[in-house]
């Protein structure tokens, strides 16, 4: 008797559970809401696709740090360890001749030393500010080709083309406008890097690292 009961009990439990299980419910869909043919899928009319990430320089305002980082971004996108097709080195793209003029004779050491690169940049600014001190005093605040001349614009242009070419540009009132190998001109740098506060840069005659 007990053996028969042990077989019957699981069958009864299964029957009970099935009787309480989900039941199929027939729902009547109104004719107006029935889909009888394929429908068009609409996408946004104004879809923006970025083909590559947009790189932007760090925003540091018009401070000295803002000036040097904006200039570095233009020169190398801020990369300390890059060398361009013409052999210019580092974050600020210095040539071998300028490095030797400032007392740096090992290009490999320079390229692998960010602290040295920052020192060279500061030293070169001081040198250019000394060379251009009279032109800064004479031309800052004036307009050449519709662009107001600023100290930061003058020193950025000197970084691009050398202090001598900046003197020629200013003293010819914009007629002598030198381009670099990539097509950037003294006038362009004057405009792009105008208005930064670089009053902390001290003019020094023939500075060395």
User: Helix (H) and strand (E) counts for the chain?
Assistant: 9, 2
CB 111 within 8 A of CB 83: yes
1.10.530.10, 3.40.50.720, 1.10.3720.10, 2.40.37.10: CATH of 64-192: 1.10.530.10
**Residue length of the chain:** 209
Give the H or E element holding residue 148: strand 147-148
pTM, 2 dp: 0.71
Tens-digit pLDDT profile for residues 78-131: 999 999 999 999 999 999 999 999 999 999 999 999 999 999 999 999 999 999
* Residue 202, both tokens: 């001290």
Each domain of the chain, given as residue ranges in start order, spans 64-192
Tens-digit pLDDT profile for residues 142-176: 999 999 999 999 999 999 999 999 999 999 999 99
């Amino acid at each position: 008797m007990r053996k028969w009961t042990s077989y019957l009990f699981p069958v009864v439990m299964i029957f009970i559970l099935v009787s309480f299980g989900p039941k199929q419910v027939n729902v009547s869909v109104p004719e107006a809401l029935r889909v009888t043919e394929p429908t068009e899928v609409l996408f946004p009319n104004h879809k923006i696709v970025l083909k590559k990430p947009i790189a932007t320089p760090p925003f540091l305002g018009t401070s000295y740090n803002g000036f040097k980082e904006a200039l570095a971004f233009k020169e190398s996108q801020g990369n300390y360890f890059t060398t361009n097709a013409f052999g210019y080195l580092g974050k600020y793209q210095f040539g071998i001749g300028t490095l030797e003029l400032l007392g740096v004779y090992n290009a490999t050491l320079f390229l692998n030393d960010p602290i040295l690169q920052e020192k060279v940049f500061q030293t070169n600014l001081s040198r250019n500010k000394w060379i251009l001190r009279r032109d800064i005093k004479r031309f800052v605040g004036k307009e050449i080709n519709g662009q107001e001349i600023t100290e930061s614009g003058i020193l950025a242009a000197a970084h691009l083309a050398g202090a001598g070419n900046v003197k020629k540009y200013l003293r010819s009132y914009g007629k002598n406008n030198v381009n670099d190998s990539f097509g950037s001109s003294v006038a362009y740098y004057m405009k792009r890097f105008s208005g930064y506060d670089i009053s902390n840069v001290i003019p020094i005659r023939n500075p060395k690292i």
